[in-house]
Amino acid sequence: MNKHVFIYLLLTVFTSFSSIFSQSCDGVTYSPPSIPANCTYNYTSLGWFDSAGNPISKPNGTNGSESICFLADNAESFGGLNGLFYLAPGVNFTGSINGFGGGDIVIDGNLSPTNNQGISNTNLWVGENGTYNRPGNLSMNNVSNFYNAGTINIGGTVSMGGDTSLTNFPNSTYTVGSDFGSNGTVKNCGLMLAETGEMSFQGGSDFKNFCAVYAKEDMQFNNNFTNDGLFIIDGSLTFGGGAVNLFNRGTMLVTDFTLGDGKNFIGDNYESILIVRNNAALTSGASITDHLFFDVDDGGGFDSVCGSCTEDVLLINTVDIPATEAGLTENCGAGIIVGVPSATIDFDGIDDYIDSSLNLSGYAAMTAMAWIKLDPAFTNTGNVLDQGAFDLQITNTFRPRVQLNSGLATAPFANALPLDVWTHLAVVYDGSLASDNLKLYINGEHVATSSDPSLLGSINASGGRFTIGREASIPAEFFHGAIDEVRMFDVALTEEQLRRSIYQEIEQKSTKVAGSVIPYDIDKDLPETLLWTNLQAYYPMKEVKTNSRTTDYSSYDRLATLYNIATVQPQTAPMPYETQADGSWTTLATWLNGDVQDITDLANLKDWSIVRVAHDLNTVNSHTQLGMIIDDTKTLSVIGDQEINNSWYLELNGTIDLAADSQLVQQDNSELVTDANGNILRRQEGTNNIYRYNYWSSPVGAKIAGGSNSAFSLDQLKDTNGTISFTTAMDPPMTTPSTLSTAWTYSFQNGVTYYDWSAISESSSLLPGTGYIHKGTGTASPQQQYIFDGRPNNGTITIPVMDVGGPGSVPSLTATNYLLGNPYASALDVVKFIEDNETVIGGTLYLWEQWDGDSHEIGQYQAGYATVNKVAGVRAFQFQGLQGGNSGSQDGLKTPTLFLPVGQAFVTEIVTNGNVEFNNTQRIFKKEATNETVFFRSEENRITQENSRTAENQILRFNFDTSNGLSREFVVAFSQEATDEYDPGYDSRIFELQDNDMVSLLNEDNLIIQTLSPLNENKVVDLIYVSTGAYTHKLELTAVEGSILPYEVFLIDNLTGSVINLNQQAYYEFTSDSGEFTNRFQLSFEDPTLGIDDLFNAKDLLAFFRNDLLMVKGLNQGEYLENLQIVNIRDGRQYMDIDFDSTLDPSNGIPVHELESGFYIVKLRSSQREVTKKLLKE
């Protein structure tokens, strides 16, 4: 072989193998010596070569300065080797070696010698893929160190001298076939196995375990040790000699455990675990502290504890121990699953109880809380909590009753508790209140109150211990059932604080009380503070010590003592409600511990519950909860038109599938947290017609982790067959899934003219609340169902806007408009949205509807914008031209309601620079099926609104028709919130009157919706109409929403002098010449013809017009007229304000020549009285 070829090959091999991975274990790093580019002796598949590449014979041995490298399999025999021994990756050595007397052994291949070589003053390095197989015993002497990052198998015994060490790095395995004895240092971050024989660590040893050690027989320690991983000992574990402080911060699984001679087995804050299969004993002053403990054979505590010994352990309910060796040791013992420490204490009703040193004397306020479950055999009155002047008990009629001082509050019979079902009780006391000082709650619902005078001030002083499960002062009224999660506060919790803490355990977070399920302070976003120091005692019963004590988790360490209690039970109270299997919400088997909880009792399930969906769950009902957590890959399927309402916390790691018109409503304080997979599915139907637009807004954004909203893009859209495709062609092809054309996808932001529409693509980012438009996909069905798949929008959403058109509202000139949309997976309250944005928008929303026309030519569109404000909605007029005019024909089929459905976009005018805001207070559950909301898509039939706010406002709908086929709907309304001037949000202008048109008139504004202050007899509304010729017109009152009694609607025709009661007459028909008329028609709400000669008669005082005179008759003897005021009803202008002296005789008439025909308010003040009336002057 050519020398240069060999050297190149050798260099290539070493370059490939010299890339050493880096691992560490307790400060020791795997760092073998560097392999020289050319070893002293090199073995390849071609034979032996020296460092220069010259062929040589096999060396018999090496000295300390030499190196021997095996690059190919070898089975030869060698004498003593010193210096560097290297075995390359993939290379097998199966020969024999007399011994290693000094240097380094680096194994990246498989070293399996046939003999047992001596090892002294040598470092052994086993790489990640290396293996060292030794057939017999191993004696490590002098300064020898084993560094194992791969696999070491010792067939016999191991003996480690005092100057030796063994370091097992992560993912390594060290196996001993027989006994293992060490006086050296052992650090294990991998797996150590002793297949047979004993493992012993002598007086000079130092042992630290960070992963897994498995001794299949006995183990003995004669020196201190530290365990931060897993110890499994199939035999007994004993401690002798110099072992004093034994630190276990991990898990130890032992068959027999004996600790004596004053030794200390020290745990780490009850996170350390000791599991004993058979016998556990403490002798001769030994102590075990801060451990979780499980006795496999009987489930109790230590079998034997000496009088001077210390047993400080918490009992574990259950342990899941894998059956196989691999299962036991995998991931350093992660397969050993420890059950939650005991969380409920069972009281037998005979002699069981608990007490502590808590004393309530002098408390000026208090809150007591506990979960209880009455035993099926509960019969006699039993005390739940008792101390001095405070007593909470369950009567023999199953009713909670609380007494404090002399105040007594008992739940009604209707609130009697069920048997064998968990119920939460709370008592709230506030001595500073004048009344209602003492309140009793069941499951967070206030059921009873006391205002006894003794409650003023504070709780009476008393002695005695705080007692759970019986009367404190005498052994009586023992409780029969289970009690869990006892909490005592020295403040009166508010109802909101109380409800937030019922369905979860609590924990300290900085200085506050926080939830353990919902990771927020209980007082978050509330004005009242709740500090951890306010928690005077907290007994979650999650740990019961073997010397009959349970821990107080408050800051005050009031350890409670158990008396006569023989059994502890797993926690089954709903903290929170949690699924255990796929299924229906109303099926008991779906829920963990569902047989002792009320989760399926939907009528009584509280709106402040907390629910964890850990499996696929379906429901056909609406649900409101304080908190909901949906686990990764799990789905809550909401079937039908239902509401999921969340008031505080929604953790969405899985999916909420909102079928039909189901909606997700998050209240004002509800926060949303998702992982990268958290999403909802929300469907909405649009037109399928490829020529007709729908106006959209997405309820979702892209899937992201965290608590922030995200942008939406069209490529997130799906239909029932999958993800929608896109094309730039004007007419999309019919495909499955559907295809949508981006030739018609636009947004409109801060625009003034038609040319401000901006094209968007399928990947364009649309911020939440931004509207967009596109045409249908041409599917066969009349409607196309779109599925929005993404992270649901939540919370406050702001959109910066600019009034680029400047002052004024002239279409296509000064009026700035923006296409916005409902950003939520619920309906949107129009009134609240307008109120929240009244300084930024014009107060009117415009919704596009396209009812006919199959052409891409804009002139062929049969469509227009419907109008809605805070009071009412009006159907759309036919759109005309590029600048947004209309033809005068009101052909729209839909009347908007005061609630926008999911996905609905709208246009609104921007009147100033600022931010448009959407927020959770605008969200509401309203359904399309009941016409509470109307989605503006192509329809065949007219839809009229169902307005749930008609009780707040009175709405009159008028329809004006002409003989040439044109029509106009307009609205006059009355509201407590409106004035008689122009009010944005209540009044909506029409910017251009059409040929043959009629609306209401306010000053110079033509209004399609006019809202006035509350209705009274003096209200008059002016109408304006336009006629282009001698046409016959018709005006009718088509609807009255909300009662206007005792008033009626009268149309006054000032031209003919006619007065028509539109409540009684179907319509008023009239003819007109061409022109614009502002004075002819008025609406009145009291018959103005009454009183012309007889009604204006106040105690015989008569007034009426006769020609150009105002006649006043009926003054008493000595009475004279002091003042006369006359106001024109139509324009509010005052025509007369005259003072008179006593010589005037008004019975002969007062001249009023300047008054035109019409209605007037006449106010007369005499020396004895004052009267006001509406009069008609013809």
pLDDT of residue 331: 83
State the pLDDT confidence band at 129, using cuts at 50, 70 and 90: very high
Q: Is the pLDDT of residue 820 over 70?
A: yes
For range 425-444, the mean pLDDT:
97
pLDDT of residue 1100: 53
For range 1019-1044, the mean pLDDT:
91
The DSSP letter of residue 984 is B
The least confident of 32-36, 323-327, 768-772 is 323-327
Q: Which residue would you say has higher pLDDT here, 608 or 294?
A: 608
How high is the mean pLDDT of the chain? Answer: 89
Nearest to 411 by CA among 422, 390, 426, 389: 426
Q: How many C-beta neighbours within 10 Å does residue 852 have?
A: 16
pLDDT of residue 348: 93
Q: Check whether the bond before 1046 is cis (ω within 30° of 0).
A: yes
For range 295-301, the mean pLDDT:
78
Structure tokens at 282: 């403490």
Q: Give one DSSP letter per residue of 883-925, joined into a string.
A: TTEE-SB----B---SEEPTTBEEEEEE-SSEEEEE-GGGEE-
Q: Is the pLDDT of residue 196 over 70?
A: yes
For residue 757, is it left (φ>0), alpha (ψ between -120 and 50) or beta?
beta
Q: Is the pLDDT of residue 1119 over 80?
A: yes
Q: Is the pLDDT of residue 1082 over 70?
A: yes
pLDDT of residue 149: 96
pLDDT of residue 957: 95
For the stretch 453-509, pLDDT in tens is 999 999 999 999 999 999 999 999 999 999 999 999 999 999 999 999 999 999 999
Q: In angstroms, rounded to a whole number, what is the distance separating the alpha carbons of residues 863 and 878?
A: 5
Q: In angstroms, rounded to a whole number, what is the distance separating the alpha carbons of residues 489 and 495?
A: 14
Q: In angstroms, rounded to a whole number, what is the distance separating the alpha carbons of residues 772 and 746?
A: 6
Of all residues in the chain, the percent with pLDDT exceeding 70 is 92
For the stretch 635-690, pLDDT in tens is 999 999 999 999 999 999 999 999 999 999 999 999 999 999 999 999 999 989 99
Instruction: Calculate the alpha carbon distances from 634 to 618, 656, 707 in Å.
Output: 11, 9, 19
Instruction: Calculate the alpha carbon distances from 289 to 261, 542, 708 in Å.
Output: 16, 17, 45
* Assigned fold of 1097-1177: Immunoglobulin-like (2.60.40)
Is residue 71 within 8 Å of 41, Cβ to Cβ? no
Q: Which residue would you say has higher pLDDT here, 883 or 227?
A: 227
The domain ranges of the chain are: 4-197, 344-569, 580-677, 686-924, 954-1084, 1097-1177
For the stretch 155-195, pLDDT in tens is 999 998 888 999 999 999 999 999 999 888 999 999 999 98
pLDDT of residue 1089: 67
Q: In angstroms, rounded to a whole number, what is the distance separating the alpha carbons of residues 930 and 873?
A: 17
Q: Assign domain 344-569 one CATH number from 2.60.120.200, 1.10.3260.10, 3.40.50.2000, 3.40.50.620.
A: 2.60.120.200
Q: Is the pLDDT of residue 103 over 90?
A: yes
Q: Residue 902 forms beta bridges with which residues?
A: none
pLDDT of residue 271: 77
Q: Is the pLDDT of residue 633 over 50?
A: yes
For range 73-92, the mean pLDDT:
95
Indicate the Cα dihedral angle 744, 747, 750, 752, nearest 10°: 10
Q: Which residue would you say has higher pLDDT here, 1164 or 493?
A: 493
The least confident of 528-542, 634-648, 668-682, 1025-1039 is 1025-1039
pLDDT of residue 844: 95
Q: Is the pLDDT of residue 57 over 90?
A: yes
Is residue 17 within 8 Å of 129, Cβ to Cβ? no
Q: Is the pLDDT of residue 243 over 80?
A: no
For range 419-425, the mean pLDDT:
98
For the stretch 302-313, pLDDT in tens is 888 898 888 888
Which range has the top average pLDDT, 330-334, 457-461, 1102-1106? 457-461
pLDDT of residue 546: 55
